[in-house]
Amino acid sequence: MVGSIAVPHAYQTQEGEVGLQNRILAGLRQIPGVDDVAMANGIPFNGGLGILALTLKENTLANDSSQPGAFLVGCSIGYFQALRIQLLEGRFLDDRDPGAKPDVFVVDERFEKRYFPGQSAVGKHFSFNGTPKTAAEWPVIIGVVRNVPHNGVEDRSNQPFVYYPMLKTTPGGISLFVRSSRAPGDVLAAVRAKLAEIDPAIPLFETRTMDTVVSESFSNRRAVMLLLGAFAGLALFLSAIGIYGVLAYDVSQRTREIGVRGAIGASRGEIIGLVMRQGLWKTGAGLVIGLVAAVLLSHYMVSLLFDLTPTDPWAYVAVMLILAAAATLASYLPARSAAAIEPIEALRFE
């Protein structure tokens, strides 16, 4: 379950917010059936994070490179475990880190690949506040995690994310994350009761499951793809009708020929194969032309794709198989009608 709380005015000091956050985390962990609890200054996939310029101590960038930067995510201890974010190198944030000197950060794999290509980012240093006065003041990277689209799947900035211990800051609002095997409604009721026990003035709002958050982030893409899918389905239906109509007309024009073939010994299977080959040759030519056109035009759909390249081979194979299946069915129906023609009746045809 995820939700948001607004920090009452009485706690809006450094010490007040830190104390409140610790009380909330400790209280929610006491709820039966709760496995992990965490806080952050935002919810993944929801966006709203700003990018900050940074200074690298171990500068690996070319002289003409643009100013390095990253999005900043404040989170509590246990955030990565609650959201099941995979650790690639180093370690997660723990109780040693809030208030530690020098500051510590966890970065995502995009940060490592961009700013420390070919080497580990763990143990490297960077700062969001310019160059520190002494070497001992340089913040250090303690871990590298998988990429998470905090700004949503529509974000095209391709900028990395940096995580820091949120208890050192004073955010105006807090996002809660509660992982539990219990039913969402039961968990939500228990969370509300525990927050009321801590302080009745703490409001809890925008509650939902993380699955819902992820699903909502794809709503724009889903609407577009449903529309495209509807048109694609209509095009598939019309193409099948077209193949059927052409072959059915061709069979009607070749009734005498088919009757003669049957009279001289052509089997039902041979007649079906004759008609179907005619339809499938047309289908094969269409698939080749369509494949070339799709490859050339697919690059214009890059903005609609997520975790999929414009030339993903499995997508093309799947579509070609669907088209081939529809064409086979559309070819088989007139072929079956042709095989049912009686030679005597066909030879009487005028």
The predicted-structure confidence for 187-202, as pLDDT tens digits, reads as follows 999 999 999 999 998 8
Which of residues 185, 202, 217 is at a domain's end?
Answer: 217
Do 187 and 55 have their domain in common?
yes
DSSP string, 58-85: S--S-TTPPPPEEEEEEE-TTHHHHTTP
What was the pLDDT predicted at 2? 94
Shared domain for 187 and 228, answered yes or no, is no
The domain in which residue 311 lies consists of: 220-347
Q: Are 48 and 194 found together in one domain? A: yes
Length of the chain equals 350
Could you tell me if 321 and 197 lie in one domain? no
Same domain, 98 and 247: no
| Strand-strand pairing, 104-108 and 140-145 | parallel
Mean predicted confidence (pLDDT) in 74-81: 92
Domain shared by 191 and 207, yes or no: yes
Tokens, residue 203: 């409001």
pLDDT digits (tens, 9 = 90+) for 286-296: 889 989 998 88
**∠ CA 234-227-211, rounded to 5°:** 130
pLDDT the model gives residue 171? 55
The pLDDT mean for the chain works out to 87
State which of 217, 237, 261 marks the end of a domain. Answer: 217
The predicted pLDDT at position 307 comes to 67
CA quadruple 77, 78, 79, 83: dihedral, nearest 10: 180
What does the DSSP 8-state code read for residue 125? B
- Does 36 lie in the same domain as 103? yes
Q: Please tell me whether residues 207 and 242 are part of one structural domain.
A: no
User: Final residue of a domain: which of 217, 246, 273?
Assistant: 217
One-letter amino acid of 216: E
Q: What is the pLDDT of residue 304?
A: 67
Q: Are 239 and 328 found together in one domain?
A: yes
> What is residue 276's predicted lDDT score, i.e. its pLDDT?
86
pLDDT at 311: 81
At 55, the pLDDT band (50, 70, 90 cuts) reads: very high
Give the total number of structural domains in the chain: 2
Distance CA 110, CA 92 (A): 17
In order of 54, 70, 133, 240, 327, the CA distances from 120 in angstroms are 18, 18, 25, 55, 53
Mean pLDDT over 307-324 rounds to 85
